[in-house]
Amino acid sequence: MTLFQPVRGMHDWLPEEAERFTQIVERARRIACLYGFREIQTPLLEKVGVFSRPLGESSDVVGKEMYKFVDRGGEELALRPEGTAAVVRAFLSNHLTEALPFKGFYAGPMFRYERPQKGRYRQFHQMGLERLGDASPWEDAEGIALAARCLEALQIEATLQINSLGDAPSRSAYREALVAYFETHRSRLSALSQQRLDQNPLRVLDSKEPEDQEFLSHAPTLTVFLTPEARCFFETLCTALQTLGISYQIQEHLVRGLDYYTHTVFEFVPSSGEGGTILAGGRYDHLVELLGGPPIPGFGWAAGIERLLLATPIKEEPVRPVAMISVGPFEAVAYTSAQLLRAEGHMVEVFCGKDLGKLLKKADRARARYAFVMGAEEQREQAVLVRDLDARTQEHQPLAALQEIARRL
Ligand code: ATP
Ligand code: MG
């Protein structure tokens, strides 16, 4: 029989990694909580339209990467490729539009059919937040400050790049200028960019194809096409970031790959220049409407947890257990003593057998700090042998004092 392997691009998380994963999410969750965000969880499966409409049919995520299938009832479903549209869908389905602002934090798996490589998987994990009902650029600045704070807590050095996609009139003026520019170079663009030029010209700026790069760097920028309102929004954002002490670079060709963004877009990229974007987001003032709701503005970001794991130097040491060792038929006292120690908050592993040497080896392998040994002699004396496995010292203590000893450890 052949053994099953996990699906390509999907991974098992063994304890060490899984624990680091949880610690990272926990740190971010605590910070998000300080800013008034509360946790929200949505299903992994959604109707395809939840993503295809707001992200755009021509986006990579919907067009090339989304896992879709028809279920047994004939419904077209997608494994969620991102969190934002799903959270907005939940916000609308649960009739939360009257209680604004809505501020949700989430963490969980996302799915994209991409070519797996370091930092890029088919099942990956994001943590992120969405804030619905706030129209001020100060809220964007605060959301970005919160992201910066999370990265700081993880000791990740990253550069913040920001840009403005303006409002709808800014973008349509820009789109025209961009099409005019790229049309003059059409034949020399990559096939993908030629196709994007027809479907969604802004996305040509997202191209990673080498042959496109020289044309990208000379492309017109959106800044000149911003309406006075959009310009004012962006200037206030910059002022707000400065006020909050967040340094940034304006990256005029930053467009992000999804259709739903307006005004603010931003990315944190590793300062080392290695590995892709760690955390990205922006404002989306029309997404709620695109999903059938009233006009409610929104802002959010998401970070790839695998990329955070690659970038953070933080490694929390796992807790070391106490080994409860029974040498001979003393399971009863060993297992009950273990319960007693756990009630005192100690992590306890029980090892039973006949050979003390072998049992102590097991305790070492478990990285135990102390061993509590119960054998024939201890049973006779109603005692326990307490062994300090680091200092290599040991002493007998009365069994009745077990709880007391545990409190002192
Ligand atoms: P990229 O340009 O790297 O493909 P993206 O623009 O598709 O990223 P977003 O949709 O903005 O990514 O998702 C937010 C974050 O999620 C990214 O910045 C990245 O950290 C992470 N991410 C996206 N796709 C993957 C993936 N396939 N595997 C691991 N992490 C991912
Ligand atoms: Mg991508």
What is the number of the ligand 1 atom nearest to the C-alpha of 267?
Answer: 18
For the chain, the helix, strand and coil percentages under 3-state DSSP, each to the nearest 5: 40, 25, 35
What is the number of the ligand 1 atom nearest to the C-alpha of 276?
Answer: 3
| Contact between 164 and 263 (Cβ < 8 Å) | yes
Domain count, the chain: 3
Q: Do both 219 and 327 map to the same domain? A: no
Residue-wise pLDDT tens digits, 251-301: 998 988 677 889 999 999 999 888 889 999 999 999 999 999 999 999 999
Residue-wise pLDDT tens digits, 212-255: 998 888 899 998 999 999 999 999 999 999 999 999 999 998 98
Q: Do both 194 and 290 map to the same domain? A: no
Kindly identify the ligand whose nearest atom is closest to the C-alpha of 117: 1
Q: Do both 135 and 196 map to the same domain? A: no
Query: pLDDT at position 316, please?
Result: 81
Kindly identify the ligand whose nearest atom is closest to the C-alpha of 304: 1
Distance between CA 397 and CA 289 in Å, rounded? 71
Residue 103 lies in a domain: yes
Distance between CA 87 and CA 130 in Å, rounded? 8
Query: pLDDT at position 243, please?
Result: 98
Query: pLDDT at position 18, please?
Result: 94
Is the Cβ atom of 161 under 6 angstroms away from ligand 1?
A: no
- The model's pTM is 0.91
Distance between CA 362 and CA 347 in Å, rounded? 15
Is the Cβ atom of 257 under 6 angstroms away from ligand 1?
A: yes
Neighbours of 221 (CB within 10 A): 16
Residue 231 lies in a domain: no
Q: Do both 150 and 173 map to the same domain? A: no
What phi, psi does 180 have (nearest 5°)? -60, -45
Is the Cβ atom of 120 under 6 angstroms away from ligand 1?
A: yes
Secondary structure (H, E, C), 36-63:
CCEECCCCCEEECHHHHHHHCCCCHHHH
Query: pLDDT at position 331, please?
Result: 96
Q: Do both 330 and 287 map to the same domain? A: no
Kindly identify the ligand whose nearest atom is closest to the C-alpha of 9: 1
What is the number of the ligand 1 atom nearest to the C-alpha of 128?
Answer: 14
Is the Cβ atom of 206 under 6 angstroms away from ligand 1?
A: no
E-state strands within 241-392: 249-250, 262-270, 279-283, 298-304, 322-327, 348-353, 370-374, 383-388
Q: Do both 221 and 88 map to the same domain? A: no
In tens digits, the chain (409 residues) has pLDDT values of 899 999 999 999 999 999 999 999 999 999 999 999 999 999 999 999 999 988 888 788 998 999 999 999 999 999 999 999 999 999 999 999 998 999 999 999 999 999 999 989 999 999 999 999 999 999 999 999 999 999 999 999 999 999 999 999 998 899 999 999 999 999 999 998 999 898 888 888 888 889 999 888 889 999 899 999 999 999 999 999 999 999 999 999 898 867 788 999 999 999 988 888 999 999 999 999 999 999 999 999 999 999 999 999 998 888 999 999 999 999 999 999 999 999 999 999 999 999 999 999 999 999 999 999 999 999 999 999 999 999 999 999 999 999 899 898 8
Query: pLDDT at position 205, please?
Result: 86
Residue 328 lies in a domain: yes
| Contact between 323 and 349 (Cβ < 8 Å) | yes
Q: Do both 199 and 347 map to the same domain? A: no
Is the Cβ atom of 124 under 6 angstroms away from ligand 1?
A: yes
Q: How far away, in angstroms, is 280 Cα from ligand 1 center?
A: 8
Query: pLDDT at position 141, please?
Result: 98
